Structure 1
Amino acid sequence: MLSSEFLGHNEYGHPQFNNVRTEAGEAVYQLKYKQDWEQVAQLASGVIEHIVPKFGKIGLVVPVPASKQRARQPVYEVAKAVAKHLKVESFEGIVNKLPTDEPTVSLKDLSTKDEKVAALEGRFELKDAITNEGCWNALVIDDLYDSGASLEAVCAMLGSYRKIGKIYVATLTWK
């Protein structure tokens, strides 16, 4: 977010803002909250053009598990588009976020990294989803970088998997 100006409250009492986002930030917003699926190509293109060339050979793509359940997951769609361009597989289910019986607070409602790390502790599982032998460099893709807590948890899981070599990370935007 480049800037946010409070405009007042609407007729329902909800605060209204004039938000100015980066180009990538606006594309992520349109994709996640307005279901504008045409943004997938633009975001994937940005990753391919500006981020992927900085890394070594990528053998597979892993999207960070979504924190909110949706019929169609935005970051999974971007990961699939990047993987298709790279001619590699996108592994959506290799790291999963486990459900919990206890009420949980959204990570975006927690203010410190320590709180987020604590909230994520024990919430991810690793699936042995790579069926062929070898050691693959993984590109982990997340939609938003805030504290890095989710990315660190996912990368720690992947780092413990014998079929994963190097781990590269790309985020679409930041908070």
Structure 2
Amino acid sequence: MDVNVKEITGVWDLGYSLDKHIVSSTYIGENQWGHAQFDTVRTDVGEAVFLLKYRDDFTQCTDIAQSINDNILPKLPFISFIVAMPPSKVRPKQPVQEIALELGNIAGKLCISGLLVKSKSTPQMKDIASREDRIELLMEAFEIDDKVVAETLPETGYNVLIIDDLYDTGTSLEAATQTLRQCDKIDKIFVATATRKR
């Protein structure tokens, strides 16, 4: 899988994205129902994420996780454990959680499910004008499960890696980071995304 790793900056301590999601998207007309159609060219990892999320091809998780392991983890300091970004959409099987679990297996790191959860639904972020309002809404929706913390983090000073599929504006990752900072057992917070919008 060819990648073009880029640092992504935010309130987290250090973060990287494997590659852009889309190389080009060209309008090619409308279909028989009047919906716009596009000829979309994706990067290797962009295509893998597309197949995973929209074609339920969970075999893509291994390639994505392996690429994060090979291309991003060497750029990061020591990681204690991995968490997946809480999903925005209910699915029988969550793509980002599966990537995080696979990365944990490949890297030999604990992937903690349920530590960071989305406890209530939020409106579509694209419908909320202000970045600050989006972050505030997400912070109200995200929470740390104290029971999971008590069961999995007996000490302090843990460095966590948040995994996500797409980095766009960074509001979700910022809200997740700020929520995780409320846990006194966590020290550094790192971010790795499969793709980025720009």
Does the C-alpha gap of structure 1 residues 172 and 35 become closer, same or farther in structure 2, counting only changes over 3 Å?
A: same
Q: CA deviation at 1:109?
A: 4.7
For normalisation by structure 2, the TM-score amounts to: 0.81
**Contact in 1 for aligned 2:120/2:141 (Cα 8 Å):** yes
For normalisation by structure 1, the TM-score amounts to: 0.90
Q: Which runs of 5+ in 1 are unaligned?
A: none
Aligned counterpart in structure 2 of residue 145 of structure 1, from 153, 163, 167: 167
C-alpha distance in 2, partners of 1:5/1:63? 32
1:156 aligns with 2:154: no
1:106 aligns with 2:104: no
Q: What is the percentage of aligned positions where both structures have the same residue?
A: 39
Aligned counterpart in structure 1 of residue 115 of structure 2, from 94, 110, 117: 94
**Contact in 2 for aligned 1:141/1:171 (Cα 8 Å):** yes
Q: Which residue of 2 aligns with 1:122?
A: 140
1:22 aligns with 2:40: no
What is the Cα-based RMSD across aligned positions, in Å? 1.6
Superposition pairs for residues 45-56 of structure 1, below 5 Å?
Answer: 45-56=66-77
SS of match in other structure, 1:5 = strand
Q: Which runs of 5+ in 2 are unaligned?
A: 1-21
Deviations 1:12-71 (Å, cap 9, x if unpaired)?
222111011111111111100011111101100110000001112211101010101100
1:3 aligns with 2:39: no
Deviations 1:127-147 (Å, cap 9, x if unpaired)?
121324123211110111011
The one-letter amino acid of 1:127's match is D
The one-letter amino acid of 2:91's match is R
**Contact in 1 for aligned 2:119/2:142 (Cα 8 Å):** yes
Q: Which residue of 1 aligns with 2:64?
A: 43
Bigger relative contact order, structure 1 or 2 (CA pairs below 8 A, ≥6 apart): 2
Could you list the structure 1 runs, at least 4 aligned residues long, displaced by more than 3 angstroms after superposition: 108-112
Q: Which residue of 1 aligns with 2:89?
A: 68
1:172 aligns with 2:194: yes
C-alpha distance in 2, partners of 1:110/1:174? 20
C-alpha distance in 2, partners of 1:25/1:110? 26
Deviations 1:89-138 (Å, cap 9, x if unpaired)?
212211111224xxx53224556533522442411111121324123211
SS of match in other structure, 1:122 = helix
Does the C-alpha gap of structure 1 residues 68 and 82 become closer, same or farther in structure 2, counting only changes over 3 Å?
A: same
C-alpha distance in 1, partners of 2:128/2:27? 22
